[in-house]
């Protein structure tokens, strides 16, 4: 049985939950509270020296970190991971876009707005995070004007990865009404078989 | 014939150059100067709406962005991309680690130190970049104590991706002498057939 170490409120962890539900694959979820230091204990660092969630455990001693690497691994052989090499390359392009040009702005803005006190000094980062996050949303908007999902006609793990924080972008102060193609795509994702929503706080 | 749009001094672009040289695959290199705005022209944005290098052009109209997605695509069927699904997952884990936990600190510190004036306000970012970059190097040091390359016994695109900015980390003020396993691994990478060095400034 697969074990996922994760935080239900984290978008990166939700990606893994959503895919496993859509695959109909049984798994055990171990809730880990990184805010309480639980990803920095010697036991946790022995599983993931980078001290982050989510973490997939195939069996004791076999661990895989990085949400998007976990998505690729679990999706292999399913419709969520294309057979065609060029489409797979497109999926990977969007997965790296998500981790480099999207998540560091949209997820971090959400974190600051939702979990830090209103007078926290990190709020000074918000204008830059919102500027960069808006750039990522604009790239997505333009792309989705040409095709229904990120890697073409079919829903893949690229859509799962980008859905995770995009649909919750309002939490970080982003106005999704400015991105109608993105909004229509969010609805197409929500309509996929086996879809489950991100846990509410 | 493949075309690569890139900057020879960029570690992300160097990754693609190194792999293509090691594959012995012919390609055309188009030098693009992002500092001069050449990744923000309408022509360039039509190829890559995210406005970044490197960009791989298979043929006019077929483009692939994101250095690590390009590595995976080009390496398929070669020894640099494992046949085994679990090893491939490990390669992907390290590729995402590189883009999320390593490059944003080690490459950005290098950029600030090498290309911005000594009195530039972004130098204020250096203490945090060095702290986070040192954490990434420590994770690598620990991992390399157990195996010669990032995904086990063989050199893969994970090593290419992590080599690109690690070997140039001193440019950003990192002391590699503190990481003997990393230094020995850098030498193993340099000893690979077809290795070429990053262009000097």
Residue B130 within any structural domain of the chain: yes
* Pair A71, A143 in one domain: no
Nearest residue of A to residue B103 by CA position?
Answer: A100
Predicted confidence band of residue B200 (pLDDT cuts 50, 70, 90)? confident
Distance between CA A161 and CA A179 in Å, rounded? 18
* Pair B125, B186 in one domain: yes
Do residues A67 and A54 touch, judged by C-beta distance below 8 A?
yes
Each of the 201 residues of chain A gets a pLDDT tens digit; together they read 999 999 999 999 999 999 999 999 999 999 999 989 999 999 999 999 999 999 999 999 999 999 999 999 999 999 999 999 999 999 999 999 999 999 999 999 999 999 999 999 999 999 999 999 999 999 999 999 999 999 999 999 999 999 999 999 999 999 999 999 999 999 999 999 999 999 987
Give the closest of A49, A92, A139 to B139, CB-based.
A49
- Indicate whether this model's pTM tops 0.90: yes
Q: Distance from CA of residue A30 to its chain's centroid?
A: 18
Distance between CA B159 and CA B151 in Å, rounded? 8
Tokens of A54: 């989510």
Distance between CA A104 and CA A98 in Å, rounded? 9
pLDDT of residue A21: 98
Domain of B22, CATH number, reads 3.40.30.10
Bridge partner residues of B65 (DSSP):
B55
User: Residues in chain B, how many?
Assistant: 201
Q: Domain span at residue B110?
A: 85-190
- Integer-rounded Cα radius of gyration of chain B: 17
Residue B135 within any structural domain of the chain: yes
Whether chain A has a CB inside 8 Å of the CB on B149: the answer is no
Q: Distance from CA of residue A136 to its chain's centroid?
A: 14
Residue B71: count of CB within 10 angstroms of its CB: 28
Do residues B56 and B43 touch, judged by C-beta distance below 8 A?
no
Distance between CA B194 and CA A1 in Å, rounded? 43
Tokens of B116: 């911005």
* Pair A183, A103 in one domain: yes
* Pair B69, B100 in one domain: no
pLDDT of residue A200: 87
Q: What is the DSSP string of B58-105?
A: EETTEEEESHHHHHHHHHTTSTTS-SSHHHHHHHHHHHHHIIIIIHHH
Please name which of B29, B37, B26 lies closest in space to residue B6, comparing C-alpha atoms.
B29
Distance between CA B43 and CA B21 in Å, rounded? 28
Q: B89 and A139 in contact by Cβ < 8 A? A: no
User: Which of A12, A47, A75 finishes a domain?
Assistant: A75
Q: List, in order, residues 6 or more apart from A35 with CB less than 8 Å away.
A: A115
* Pair A65, A93 in one domain: no
* Pair B66, B138 in one domain: no
Residue B173 region by backbone torsions, left for phi larger than 0, else alpha for psi between -120 and 50, else beta: left
Residue B159 within any structural domain of the chain: yes
Q: Distance from CA of residue B198 to its chain's centroid?
A: 10
* Pair B60, B19 in one domain: yes
Residue B165 within any structural domain of the chain: yes
Distance between CA B167 and CA B187 in Å, rounded? 10
Q: B68 and A92 in contact by Cβ < 8 A? A: yes
Residue A57 within any structural domain of the chain: yes
Do residues A80 and A155 touch, judged by C-beta distance below 8 A?
yes
User: Residues in chain A, how many?
Assistant: 201
pLDDT 10s digits, B44-99: 999 999 999 999 999 999 999 999 999 999 999 999 999 999 999 999 999 999 99
Sign of CA dihedral B132, B135, B139, B140: positive
For chain B, the distance separating the N- and C-terminal CA atoms, rounded to the nearest angstrom, is: 28
Q: A73 and B92 in contact by Cβ < 8 A? A: yes
Give the closest of A92, A100, A139 to B72, CB-based.
A92
Q: Is the ipTM of this complex over 0.90?
A: yes
How many domains does chain B fold into?
Answer: 2
* Pair B122, B45 in one domain: no
Residue B15 within any structural domain of the chain: yes
Do residues B16 and B56 touch, judged by C-beta distance below 8 A?
yes
* Pair B66, B106 in one domain: no
Do residues B140 and B166 touch, judged by C-beta distance below 8 A?
yes
- Find residues 52-71 of chain B whose CB sits inside 8 Å of chain A: 52, 58, 62, 64-70
User: Which of A13, A41, A75 finishes a domain?
Assistant: A75
Residue B80 within any structural domain of the chain: no
Residue B126 has pLDDT above 80, yes or no: yes
Q: A96 and B69 in contact by Cβ < 8 A? A: yes
* Pair B96, B164 in one domain: yes
* Pair A97, A170 in one domain: yes
- Distances in Å between the Cα of B175 and the Cα atoms of B39, B130, B143, B169 are 32, 10, 18, 8
Residue A197 within any structural domain of the chain: no
Dihedrals φ, ψ of A177, to 5°?
A: -60, -25
* Pair A54, A138 in one domain: no
Residue A167: count of CB within 10 angstroms of its CB: 21
Residue B201 has pLDDT above 80, yes or no: no
User: Which of B55, B75, B95 finishes a domain?
Assistant: B75
């Amino acid at each position: 049985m697969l074990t996922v170490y994760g935080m239900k409120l984290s978008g990166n962890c939700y990606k893994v939950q959503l895919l496993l539900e859509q695959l109909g694959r049984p798994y055990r979820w171990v809730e880990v509270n990184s805010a309480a230091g639980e990803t920095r204990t010697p036991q946790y660092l022995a599983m993931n020296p980078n001290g982050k969630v989510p973490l997939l455990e195939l069996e004791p001693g076999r661990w895989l970190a990085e949400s998007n690497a976990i998505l690729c691994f679990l999706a292999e052989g399913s419709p969520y991971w294309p057979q065609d090499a060029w489409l797979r390359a497109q999926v990977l392009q969007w997965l790296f876009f998500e981790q480099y040009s999207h998540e560091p702005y949209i997820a971090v803005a959400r974190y600051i707005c939702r979990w830090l006190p209103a007078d926290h000094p990190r709020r000074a980062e918000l204008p830059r995070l919102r500027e960069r996050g808006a750039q990522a949303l604009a790239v997505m908007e333009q792309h989705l004007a040409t095709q229904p999902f990120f890697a073409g006609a079919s829903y893949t793990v690229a859509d799962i990865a980008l859905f995770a924080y995009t649909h919750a972008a309002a939490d970080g102060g982003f106005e999704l009404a400015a991105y109608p193609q993105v909004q229509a795509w969010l609805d197409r994702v929500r309509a996929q078989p086996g879809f489950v929503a991100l846990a509410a706080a």
